Structure 1
Amino acid sequence: MQIVLISGLSGSGKSIALNVLEDAGYYVVDNLPATLLPQLISTLRGAGYQRLAVAADVRAGASISALPGQIERLHDMVDDLRFIFLEARDETLIQRFSETRRRHPLAEENLTLGEAIARERDLLEPISHLGHRIDTSDTQANTLRAWVKDFMQLEQTAGLTLLFQSFGFKYGIPVDADLVFDVRCLPNPHYDLNLRPLTGRDQPVIDFLEKIPEVGRMFDDIRGFVANWLPAYIRDNRSYLTVAVGCTGGQHRSVYFAERLANHFRDTVRVMVRHRAGARRAHDGRTGNGSGAAR
């Protein structure tokens, strides 16, 4: 039996993730108290269900504090247990609630929306590092759907998944990053008019960067740091390690480094690549602004 747990901040996209899994054939349960997880699994297994997706968050009240213990118990009940934790920056969450005019589940008369979000973040902090964290701050709904599908298509094998994520510092550091590297000190292809519309995945940009000795030195330093400390993270029984590489806009240098690092480690460990600013630019190009991000 395969179980996927979904949790995270209100407004971060949990409904979208659940819809993806439901469309893929999972039996979906939303807003379940964590203490009822073992009973639910036993019941559905007896009924012949093989794939289950469950959302557990602060809407279930104090029971969310029981989730870490329940996860340990579930590992003894099923062979395939996965956990996705969705989050976003405060300003993004405030914008989303303002656009949808929905009430935050922790909203009270004496709490502002910002205070309710801060309270929820504190309550969820103990479980935020238990699974695969996804920062949806600059992510449109279609991109989040694709990321969830990529996550579910990973082969269920023992070991750590190494995620390389490019981003632009002008949009803020991803809140799901475990390690952050800054490559803004390197020459920027943005100032070459022929390279400006391209990305770090395009050969002309790759050729431009690989002619610069400092780029090779920076790559060797980052590669060496990750390689040297990766065994320690594996011994720590982590399932995921997110390495974020940032440049100014997240279009050229950071994308180049994320792709090159992923290619280097692909034969050593399970690897994923994510380009955060690219998803944001694609969305902005269609809408003309930053609205309409994943809910």
Structure 2
Amino acid sequence: MSYISIILNLILGARTIKGAVTVSIIFFILFIIYTSLQAYTYRNTARHLEKIQQEKKELQAANKKLAGELKKIKQNMKKTSQQSPNKKVAYLTFDDGPSSNTSAILSILDHYKIKATFFVIGNQSERGKHMYKRIVAEGHAIGLHSYSHEYRTIYVSPTAFHQDFNQIRELVYQLTGQKPNIIRFPGGSNNHISRKYGGKNLMHTLIQQMTREGYRYFDWNVDSRDAERVTQSRDIIIQSVLQGSKNKQKTIILLHDSQVKTTTVEALPAIIEGLRKQGFSFDVLTDQSFTYHFAPSS
């Protein structure tokens, strides 16, 4: 039964005029309340619909923008897939920094407008902290090498390796905000010196563990030979890189930027120019890029 029917029944059932008037007043008040509620509900509904329409327009605009970005990504992917698979790419990698030589190397790379990859160790000096930040700020890739680079410490056991590794990981994160997932084992993935401290299966265990943790490790297929002596001849470094890169489409070049490697800095311009003459472009290493792994040592 409706409210109106109820009120009419009350009016008809009233025994006096006074009672009928009272009921009529109540009816009028209820009618006003009812009408006001209807108007309020209508206004709220209208505002709600207007809000929905506005959100719909915003969503359509966002979808349109997203579609445009997706189109660009697809175009870039298509362009990349159409590039020659024989494109020659050189990956300059620098181990054991940062140091004052890192600063000089970064300036040279900036001059030639190319990027490189730095596998860093621990350096808590103010200059060192600045270099971590500069590597990232200038668009280079930063990878993890170790904190101490002390073979007799890090290669005692998997636990010892991880304790040292966690130090450099945390230092890089604190200073740069980055969590690199590319690494290089000190001495390479098949180094023999680790056997002296941790046994012949240590490197195999470490490779498995680090891979499970989401890291991708990189060895090298071109050795600059700048680590054979404390300070190697500039000419030997240049020749080793350029000769080693011939007949290769992808080269991961091992260089060092520790404090004593001044001739590596001196050799770098000639290396870059020589590689360009061989048709190489330059890129940084990522977890998706070309990699090179040494064969496991027997």
Q: TM-score, normalised by structure 1?
A: 0.26
Greater percentage in strand: 1
Max Rg structure? 2
Q: TM-score, normalised by structure 2?
A: 0.26
